[in-house]
Amino acid sequence: MSAPLRVGLIGAGNNMLSTHVPRYLNRPEAMIAACTEPFAANVARIKERFPDLPKIPFYDDHQKMLAEAKLDAVVISTPHAYHYQQIVDALGAGCHVLCEKPLVCSVQEAKGVIAARDKAKKIVLVSYQRHYLHAFLVMKTAIDNGLIGTLQYVDLQQNQNWYNNQKIANRWRIQKDLSGGGQLNDSGSHIVDILLYVTGLEPEKVYAVQQSFDLGVDVNSAVTVTFKGGATGCLSIVGNAPFKGGSVHEDITIYGSEGAVFYRQLGQGSPRTPFIEVRRFDSETPVEVTGVPEPSNPDENFLAAIAGKEPVLSPAECGLRVMQLSEAAWKSAERGEAVAVSTL
């Protein structure tokens, strides 16, 4: 039996502790071998929550960890603006990379990551967990199998009480030099990604109007998109909605020549099971979608892809597509005119 993969953690904040670390513990094919975290309070917290981890070395600089810890892979969960350099450095050190969303903060950075990945011949996976969830697997399977025909129009809405939550706590997510952008680059990144992923659409031209209120980053975004192939759509990303905590309300409808896919997730209340339905013009009742893959998660896919057992289901190209739409929206809102993705 081969030795387990040595995995290094870059960042030890809430997301790393609640999501990624538990997934790597007690996995025979992987072991957490080192961690980079500059804040002593976060180091103390991860040691307290996971008693076995104090045995690993902790660093305050990711480059030192990469140079000394002899790692096979890294998991990155840090402020968005740090991702690009951390990814490129990890690839240069011979590591596979799983990075939290958004992959990076510009189209050129995304292209740089893809080039570095190809040169290193390593895996880069963006932790877009929706790629692995049942409702979105149903959507993608229905569209891939042609159940709604040729895609024509998309209507997407996301609402969250992001503005108040971030402002009251003065979190790094509203500091542009750390976050790279506002709600569109935060929760909005997830819904933009899943739209592009399940449809396979690529943005071609974007027109956007944004509101920032008293912040230096976007809060609300009204975005019109023309996609390659002729499909169009409207995206509403609202960061100032009256929901509790981090609860999110979402509504996605994807229209095709033969039917449509409907998805809705209520932001609060119970139960929160997503509503998903596929309808066709030639049927009075919803269409059953068969052959839907089993749900998983990004970390499982990361380890399986490294072992050559699965393809990467949320590759760096997904991060590039999201940044193409997002960066075009920011530039359009700034200029007051439509922006072609090809100019980025």
pLDDT at residue 149 above 70?
Answer: yes
Rounded to an integer, what distance in angstroms lies between the CA atom of residue 280 and that of residue 119?
Answer: 45
Q: Do 5-129+298-315 and 130-293+323-343 share a fold?
A: no
Rounded to an integer, what distance in angstroms lies between the CA atom of residue 247 and that of residue 332?
Answer: 28
Over residues 52-64, the pLDDT tens digits come to: 888 899 999 999 9
The DSSP call for residue 212 is -
CA–CA distances in Å: residue 281 to residues 83, 138, 285: 45, 19, 10
Instruction: Tell me the average pLDDT of the chain.
Output: 95
Rounded to an integer, what distance in angstroms lies between the CA atom of residue 62 and that of residue 149?
Answer: 47
Rounded to an integer, what distance in angstroms lies between the CA atom of residue 163 and that of residue 305?
Answer: 37
The residue ranges of every structural domain in the chain are 5-129+298-315, 130-293+323-343
Q: How many CA atoms lie within 13 A of 48 on its CB side?
A: 6
The three-state (H, E, C) secondary structure of 227-258, written as one string: ECCCCEEEEEEECCCCCCCCCEEEEEEEEECC
Over residues 194-214, the pLDDT tens digits come to: 999 999 999 999 999 999 999
CATH code: domain 130-293+323-343 is 3.30.360.10
For residues 291-316, average pLDDT? 97
- State the DSSP string of 106-159: SHHHHHHHHHHHHHHT--EEE--GGGGSHHHHHHHHHHHTTTT-SEEEEEEEEE
Q: How many CA atoms lie within 13 A of 77 on its CB side?
A: 19
CA–CA distances in Å: residue 298 to residues 57, 102, 263: 25, 14, 22
Per-residue confidence (pLDDT) for residue 1, from 0 to 100: 55
Extract the runs of DSSP E, i.e. beta strands, from 257-336: 259-265, 275-280
Q: Which residue has the tokens 């229905």?
A: 142
CATH code: domain 5-129+298-315 is 3.40.50.720
- Cis check for the bond before 311: say yes or no (omega within 30 of 0): no
Per-residue confidence (pLDDT) for residue 269, from 0 to 100: 60
Which tokens in the block code for residue 267?
């932001």
pLDDT at residue 270 above 70?
Answer: no
Label residue 245 by pLDDT band (50, 70, 90): confident
Rounded to an integer, what distance in angstroms lies between the CA atom of residue 323 and that of residue 344?
Answer: 10
Over residues 1-30, the pLDDT tens digits come to: 588 999 999 999 999 999 999 999 989 999
Rounded to an integer, what distance in angstroms lies between the CA atom of residue 233 and that of residue 170?
Answer: 33
Rounded to an integer, what distance in angstroms lies between the CA atom of residue 87 and that of residue 103?
Answer: 9
Extract the runs of DSSP E, i.e. beta strands, from the chain: 5-10, 30-36, 58-59, 73-76, 96-99, 124-126, 151-160, 203-211, 220-227, 232-238, 248-256, 259-265, 275-280, 339-340
CA–CA distances in Å: residue 260 to residues 86, 149, 243, 286: 40, 9, 28, 10
Q: Which residue has the tokens 């230096």?
A: 216
